[in-house]
Amino acid sequence: MKISLPEILLRSKEGQFMEEKQFDLALFKKTQELQKKYHIKYDPGKPLDTEGDLADRIYQAGVELFTELGTFCVTTNRVINVSEKELFAAIDTCPEEIELGQGNERVKMGHRDVEGDQQVVVVAGIQTAPYSDEAHMFMIYKGCAMDRCVDGIWGGILLKNDGKYDVIAGTPSEIYQYRKTVEILRKAVTAAGRPGLITISNAPTSGATIAMFDEEMGLRRTDYMESTGMSELKVAYDDLNRSAFALAHGVSIHGTHSSTIGGFSGNPEGATITAVAGSLQLIAIHFADSFRCGTVDSRIKARQSRSQLWSAGSAIQALSRNTKLIVDGSIGDHPAAGPGTKQYFYESAAGHIVSTVMGGHSTEGTRKFTVGNTCNYGTPLESRWMGEVCKAAVGMDRKTAEQIVLYLLSKYEDHLMDAPEGETFDGLYDPKRMVPNQHYQTLYDEVKKELKDIGINFID
């Protein structure tokens, strides 16, 4: 049985008081100790752990980190501690399978094994990105939803209220705009002939996120609520507001946490241990049924560097081998390169192959890592790619995946810091026919052929 939300809140009030800096430095010290204790070592020559023994040690280290250090509540400056016994009880309570979506679009999202042939759930779409106007938003959402490669679509945000007013987090404008946006999302998936499709969205504040739930025109109980753990091993009450609503409303909770290479976890080994511990935090403190286990790098604006592939991949493998939890990997979600470039597809493929092979789903959308205020920065084609790659990687073994990933890395890793910006929707698509322009379609076909030639069996 999981610890109750009121008990978690009590611990967030009565746990050890600490300055945030003390917690950060304690995390650093502990991750360095644990990597020595459990002999965890990153070898850049092997971006995937193809054996698994290491993953088991990473899991043990993650459990030890979470149960000994705890989670820092930034709202109260207190540490929330969960014992090993309580953690394992929480893990045992978690579902091995959940169902998302409705009608013909209902899908089962279950625990996946490493190299497993279980179905991978793909929620694509240009995650949380800004759109210039309702027409573009509707058109792009609909285009993404029409593609049978994807099981769900992420929402974004219209940049301006009524075309001219700023949308500001924490103000009524945020609730107004996110609510309006999710209605467009619902209309678009219905227009695409998939009214029951999984739709996901997440606003900066819990108030606006909760306001998007509406069985008729918004997010539904059969979608999931995202509850984010702050980097690293931290939580704010605003995150738990989302969990509280979801628990009361009967919505499945999807946690996300990313550890930081170069941050307080230190090296890739430390970030890997923290990625596991952060995932356990999502289970025990955020009440997640499924969760995204990931890493970011403090120096690189992408998620697919060599060390990130190893780190996130190893953490996902650690959880997939040692538990029956529902893990989301989504490593390929945010390339450094922009849409309309080969590099975008290479990065996306590398990340999604590692996620899938290590036992993860991919439900965090796909877009350039940094989009800023650039509107309509993506097309349905990147979503199709995400779906095609994830589904082709189901059942692939780690050694094959490693060879493919090494090839892909050779194509992009020297260009993560100066990645091409790509183009927005208008430069890449024919809006009347809703198909990629010839140049973009040719580029897509070339990359797909290239990857077929190196061993990816796409399901045509």
* Residue from the set 195, 196, 204, 427 that interacts with other proteins by CB under 8 A: 204
Q: How far is the CB of 225 from other proteins (least distance, A)?
A: 16
Residue 35 interacts with other proteins (CB under 8 A): yes or no: no
* Residue from the set 103, 163, 170, 172 that interacts with other proteins by CB under 8 A: 170
Q: How far apart are the C-alpha atoms of 437 and 192, rounded to whole Å?
A: 20
Q: How far apart are the C-alpha atoms of 222 and 302, rounded to whole Å?
A: 30
Q: How far is the CB of 406 from other proteins (least distance, A)?
A: 21
Which part of the chain contacts other proteins (CB under 8 A), choosing from 102-110, 167-175, 275-283, 338-346?
167-175
Nearer to other proteins among residue 258 and residue 343 (C-beta):
258
Nearer to other proteins among residue 102 and residue 173 (C-beta):
173
Which part of the chain contacts other proteins (CB under 8 A), choosing from 197-205, 240-248, 278-286, 404-412?
197-205
Nearer to other proteins among residue 230 and residue 325 (C-beta):
230
Q: How far is the CB of 28 from other proteins (least distance, A)?
A: 4
Q: Is the dihedral of CA 390, 392, 398, 403 positive or negative?
A: negative
Residues 10-29 touching other proteins, rule: CB under 8 A, are 20-21, 24-25, 28
Phi first, then psi, for residue 289 (nearest 5°) are -90, -30
**Residue 371: both structure tokens together:** 């989009």
Angle 444-338-49 from CA coordinates, rounded to 5°: 80
Nearer to other proteins among residue 206 and residue 222 (C-beta):
206
Residues 45-84 touching other proteins, rule: CB under 8 A, are 74
Give me the amino acid identity at 291: F
Q: Is 192 exposed, middle or buried (0-12, 13-18, 19+ CB in 10 A)?
A: middle
For residue 82, the tally of other CB atoms under 10 A from its CB is 23
Nearer to other proteins among residue 20 and residue 113 (C-beta):
20
Residues 262-321 touching other proteins, rule: CB under 8 A, are 262-267, 296, 298-299, 301
Q: How far is the CB of 298 from other proteins (least distance, A)?
A: 6
Residues 377-436 touching other proteins, rule: CB under 8 A, are none
Q: How far apart are the C-alpha atoms of 339 and 112, rounded to whole Å?
A: 30
For residue 131, the tally of other CB atoms under 10 A from its CB is 26
Cα→Cα distances 426→67, 131, 379, Å: 50, 12, 9
Nearer to other proteins among residue 32 and residue 50 (C-beta):
32
Q: How far apart are the C-alpha atoms of 72 and 91, rounded to whole Å?
A: 20
**Residue 331: both structure tokens together:** 């490593």
Q: How far is the CB of 279 from other proteins (least distance, A)?
A: 18
Which part of the chain contacts other proteins (CB under 8 A), choosing from 235-243, 284-292, 314-322, 324-332?
235-243
* Residue from the set 105, 151, 238, 364 that interacts with other proteins by CB under 8 A: 238
Total number of residues binding other proteins (CB under 8 A)?
40
For residue 453, the tally of other CB atoms under 10 A from its CB is 9
Phi first, then psi, for residue 79 (nearest 5°) are -95, 130
Residue from 406, 383, 422 nearest 192 by CA: 383
Q: How far is the CB of 203 from other proteins (least distance, A)?
A: 8
Cα→Cα distances 282→233, 245, 298, Å: 9, 16, 22
Task: Mark residues 334-373: x for contact with other proteins by CB under 8 A, - for none.
Answer: ------------------------------------xxxx
Strands (E), 16-164: 71-73, 78-80, 97-100, 107-110, 123-124, 130-131, 152-154, 157-158, 160-161
Which part of the chain contacts other proteins (CB under 8 A), choosing from 48-56, 163-171, 325-333, 390-398?
163-171
Q: How far apart are the C-alpha atoms of 420 and 411, rounded to whole Å?
A: 13
Give me the amino acid identity at 75: T
* Residue from the set 201, 227, 260, 424 that interacts with other proteins by CB under 8 A: 260
Residue from 49, 91, 86, 60 nearest 273 by CA: 60
Q: 260 - beta bridge partners?
A: 296
Nearer to other proteins among residue 70 and residue 270 (C-beta):
270
Nearer to other proteins among residue 6 and residue 372 (C-beta):
372
Strands (E), 384-445: 429-430, 435-436
Nearer to other proteins among residue 274 and residue 290 (C-beta):
274
Binding site for other proteins (CB under 8 A): 20-21, 24-25, 28, 74, 130, 157, 159, 166-170, 174, 203-205, 228, 230-231, 234, 236, 238-239, 260, 262-267, 296, 298-299, 301, 370-373
